[in-house]
Amino acid sequence: MKKMLGLLVSLTLISGVCAAVLAYVNSITKDPIAATAEKAREAAKAAVLCGEEGYAVEGRSGEGYGGDIVLMVGFKKDKKTVISYKVLQASETPGLGMKLKTPEFADQFSGKDGSALKVKKDGGDIEAITSATITSRAVCKAIADAQSKL
Q: What digits encode the pLDDT tens for the residues 89-124?
A: 999 999 899 999 999 999 999 999 999 999 999 999
Give the gyration radius of the chain's Cα atoms: 22
pLDDT, residue 1, reads 83
Whether the CB-CB separation of 102 and 136 falls below 8 Å is answered with: no
pLDDT tens-digit map of 43-61: 999 999 999 999 999 999 9
Task: Return the half-sphere exposure (C-beta side, CA atoms, 13 A cut-off) of residue 129.
Answer: 26
pLDDT, residue 141, reads 97
- Find the mean pLDDT for residues 80-94: 96
pLDDT, residue 2, reads 84
pLDDT, residue 90, reads 96
Mean pLDDT taken over the chain: 95
Classify residue 81 by its DSSP letter. Answer: B
Return d(Cα 140, Cα 144) in angstroms, integer: 6
Q: What is the pTM of this model?
A: 0.83
Q: What are phi and psi of 71, to 5 degrees?
A: -125, 150
pLDDT tens-digit map of 25-37: 999 999 999 999 9
Q: What are phi and psi of 51, to 5 degrees?
A: 80, -5
Residue 68 reports pLDDT greater than 90: yes
User: Residues of the chain with pLDDT > 90: what percent?
Assistant: 93
- Find the mean pLDDT for residues 9-26: 94
